[in-house]
Amino acid sequence: MSKQTSILLSAENTGKLSLALYAIRGRAKVFPSAFELVAAAERAEKRLSNAGVALSKRAGCHYAYREAGPMAKSYKYRKTVVSYSLKRTAKGWVVVNAGNENVSPKQAVIDRIDLTARAKEAVLRAAMSGFGEIPAKAA
């Protein structure tokens, strides 16, 4: 029995990631690709950087994505869309969950990053930096 290991989401690891995704994909027609997951990790990393979160405070953050539902008004137009979640480790982003979901019409897209307490503090400090010093008890 082989040990499951996490594959860091990077351009160098797309081959290994593609093989791992192929192994769990089964017969699903709608499924995220390795390139899509690597691009999502890069976008999430950029969003954290733009928010002022230091590299040392990014570990533990989660990124979740699910495509939106169709624009139709009837539930008979439900569709299957790509969904996945990623987690930031000290070394980089790894896949926590990858697959698909059935969504109803007009269901909104999910594209969010859940921050750790340390990352939230960093975002708060970056946002409030233009307003003077933040007291230690306020953070």
Q: What is the pLDDT of residues 14-34, one digit of tens each?
A: 898 888 888 888 888 889 999
The angle subtended at Cα 99 by Cα 96 and Cα 100, nearest 5°, is 135
Q: How far apart are CA 16 and CA 22, in angstroms?
A: 10
The full set of domain ranges for the chain reads: 11-129
Is pTM beyond 0.85? Reply is no
Name every residue whose Cβ is closer than 8 Å to that of residue 119 and which is 6 or more positions away in sequence.
48, 53, 57, 58, 60, 61
Q: What is the pLDDT of residues 49-68, one digit of tens each?
A: 988 888 888 999 999 999 99
Determine the distance from the C-alpha atom of residue 25 to the mean position of all C-alpha atoms in its chain, rounded to a whole number.
19
